[in-house]
Amino acid sequence: MSDRFLNFNFIMDYDKLLESLPTSLIGAIARIDELKGRWIGGCDLSPRTVENLRRSTLITSAGASTRIEGSKMTDKDIEDYLSGLKIQKFAERDRQEVSGYHETLELIFNQYQELAWTENNIKYLHTRLLQYSAKNENHRGNYKTIDNRIEAVDANGKLISVIFETTPVYLVGKEMSELIDWSQSAERHHPLLVLSVFTISFLKIHPFLDGNGRLSRLLTNQWLLRHGYDYTPFVSHEKLIEDSKADYYRTLRDSQITFGRADESVGAWTEYFLRILLFQAQKAVDLLDVTRIEDELSPKQLAIWQYLSRVDQATPGQISKEIQVARMTVSQALTKLLGLGLIVRLGQGRTTSYRRRVR
């Protein structure tokens, strides 16, 4: 057992974890904040677009975050379920977890400023997250009363090895209080680095019997919004994690197993985490371009632009045939798209083709 668990007076040095990070990560942070500025400066989405994007992100995030933990529901299944359609093929637990995540994330999107970054509110969000989970009825919003550990299991559920021990029950309250206090007062560090350390430390403590992973992703949304990353409700970071789940678990493990050792480091995790946040920021800025384009183009012009986004290049004849639009209309649309700088012309005369401009 680590010395930190044997010594009740031990205090985790979170500042030291950040100071040991490689300076190469500064570039990723600078790029994320550059994209954040571009979003703030260029965001002029219509209320209808905002509503549609938020609704889509809520479904995508609820699906991705619960699938990371083993749910089988697709985004379409979730959309149908939340719209009131009865779905019998999925376990009741899946439906309970999706509903809890969806509603809690919506609460965060709507009230992230009012929800103070405190121990009580983290417990409150845990209660909301598990509000539909019958098996968690007795410990919603309460720290664990049984020690748990993170284990590697095979396809049959058989234990392969213990990856790491989590914080024992008698130290959870102390370590959570210290972690939250540190994150609130770590102004000299960039907020994304503080979030990175908070997340991996929260998961290492594993303060609740269930829901720790999902809650960590909800808290990531809240922290980002509280620190001005206003595009958070429009691009799901949960989906980006789901798509790189192997790296997510590997970097968590590689960093968490160093806790309490002389070579303690969160470098692997932080590099991964910043990569996810950078991808999220880039997708948000790309979203601005797409929504602007959609507002600028007629339905047929948009269909032609979307077709050219899916292929390497195409002639006017090929475009006309594939999307079933008159050749004259295609020519007019291509002229408009060229004028907007959205496509480029390749060649001359009868061999002329077009492709989408790479930005």
Every domain of the chain and the residues it spans: 3-292, 297-356
So what's the pLDDT on residue 309?
Answer: 80
Confidence of residue 183 (pLDDT cuts 50, 70, 90): very high
Confidence of residue 245 (pLDDT cuts 50, 70, 90): very high
CB count within 10 Å of CB 57 equals: 22
Cα separation, 234 vs 50, whole angstroms: 8
Average pLDDT over every residue of 6-32: 81
Residue 343's beta-bridge partner residues? 356
CB count within 10 Å of CB 265 equals: 16
Name every residue whose Cβ is closer than 8 Å to that of residue 173 and which is 6 or more positions away in sequence. 143
Quick check: 20 pLDDT over 70?
yes
Please report, as a single letter, which amino acid is at residue 133: S
Tell me which residue has tokens 């493990």: 253
Cα separation, 207 vs 350, whole angstroms: 68
pLDDT more than 90, % of the chain: 57
Most confident of 101-110, 151-160, 161-170, 319-328: 101-110
What's the longest Cα–Cα distance across the chain?
80
Cα separation, 316 vs 350, whole angstroms: 10
The H or E element containing residue 130 is: none
Alpha helix (H) ranges present in the chain?
3-6, 14-19, 25-42, 47-68, 75-82, 92-111, 119-129, 169-184, 191-205, 212-226, 237-242, 245-256, 267-296, 299-310, 316-323, 327-339
**CA dist 148 to 17, 124, 132, 207, Å?**
24, 22, 23, 9
Quick check: 359 pLDDT over 80?
no
User: SS3 for 90?
Assistant: coil
CB 312 within 8 A of CB 355: yes
Q: Which residue has the higher pLDDT, 242 or 263?
A: 242
Cα separation, 179 vs 198, whole angstroms: 7
Name every residue whose Cβ is closer than 8 Å to that of residue 113 and which is 6 or more positions away in sequence. 225, 226
Tell me which residue has tokens 């970097």: 251
Most confident of 5-19, 191-205, 256-270, 310-324: 191-205
Average pLDDT over every residue of 182-192: 94
Find how far residue 207's CA is from the centre of its chain.
Answer: 21
Quick check: 37 pLDDT over 80?
yes
Confidence of residue 86 (pLDDT cuts 50, 70, 90): low
So what's the pLDDT on residue 90?
Answer: 52
Cα separation, 193 vs 273, whole angstroms: 9
Cα separation, 192 vs 202, whole angstroms: 15
Average pLDDT over every residue of 113-121: 96
So what's the pLDDT on residue 260?
Answer: 80
Mean pLDDT of the chain: 88
CA dihedral of 319, 321, 326, 328, whole degrees rounded to 10: 50
User: SS3 for 41?
Assistant: helix
Residue of 190, 256, 157, 249 lying closest to 33 (CA atoms) = 190
So what's the pLDDT on residue 8?
Answer: 46
Tell me which residue has tokens 């602007």: 292
CA dihedral of 284, 285, 289, 292, whole degrees rounded to 10: 70
Cα separation, 79 vs 74, whole angstroms: 9
Question: What's the token pair of residue 49?
Answer: 């677009």
pTM of the model: 0.81
So what's the pLDDT on residue 41?
Answer: 86
- What would the CATH number be for the domain defined by 297-356? 1.10.10.10
Quick check: 52 pLDDT over 70?
yes
Q: Domain 3-292: give its CATH architecture.
A: Orthogonal Bundle (1.10)
So what's the pLDDT on residue 240?
Answer: 97
Quick check: 91 pLDDT over 70?
no
So what's the pLDDT on residue 246?
Answer: 92
Most confident of 90-99, 120-129, 282-291: 120-129
So what's the pLDDT on residue 305?
Answer: 83
Per the rule left: phi > 0, alpha: psi between -120 and 50, beta: everything else, 211 is left
